[in-house]
Amino acid sequence: DNVWNNMPLITMPEVSEMKVKMMAGEVDFRQINENDSVSFSFDAMPNNVAYGKITKKLPVGQPYKRDSKVKFFEVEASVDSALQLPEPGFTANCRVFIKQIRDTIVVPQIAIYEEDSLKVVYVKKKNKYEMRPITTGLSSSKEAIVSDGLKPGEVIALIKPPPSMVRGKTK
């Protein structure tokens, strides 16, 4: 290869100011604000956790794939602290904290069932389960806040127990 005047020979990434670029769906994008806190984990560095803040939201969405009506929006976050800085180009798993609510009970969505148009969970009581109606508050696709119906420390089923394991059900 030929080398010419002013031709770059090597490109060095600027690591003093690490950023993470992520793509957010339309619903999530609307809830994310600049300065929201973010935590990052990295597949290539399993025990490394980093923290930062949302620094930029690009207002123009990009289609998920050609001719798709689903759009994703680019969001940029700073990496302000980390156990160990990741290498440029590593894949990051991002968790944006859009709202912080203290002293709440949070359960996985998969543990919430609908019975007779009520939201219920199955609470472990000795060797059986008790079906318990709950009231939920804010939720995401993975978790929901339980505002009424559960006490801290109660154990719930993640998989719906068979009727023979539920008190009062004999079907």
Please give the Cα distance from 59 to 56 (Å, whole number).
9
Q: Does residue 14 sit within a domain?
A: no
Report if residue 6 sits inside a domain.
Answer: no
The pLDDT assigned to 73 comes to 96
CATH number at 151 reads: 2.40.420.20
Q: In the predicted model, is pLDDT for residue 164 greater than 90? A: yes
Residues 86, 110, single domain; the answer is: no
Mean pLDDT of 57-69: 89
Tokens of 98: 């859009």
Angle at alpha carbon of residue 107, lines to 104 and 110, rounded to 5°: 160
- The boundaries of the domain holding residue 67 are 19-97
- Number of domains observed in the structure of the chain: 2
Q: Considering 76, 97, 118, which residue would you say is the last residue of a domain? A: 97
| Mean of per-residue pLDDT scores for the chain | 90
What's the first-to-final CA gap in the chain, in angstroms?
A: 78
- pTM: predicted TM-score of the whole model, two decimal places: 0.61
Tell me the C-alpha to C-alpha distance, in Å, between residue 137 and each of 19, 34, 96, 134, 169.
Answer: 33, 24, 19, 10, 28
- What CATH number is attached to the domain comprising 85? 2.40.30.170
Q: Are residues 75 and 120 both part of a single domain?
A: no
What confidence score (pLDDT) does residue 2 get?
A: 81
The two three-digit tokens of residue 83, written as one number: 């156990």
User: Is residue 11 in some structural domain?
Assistant: no
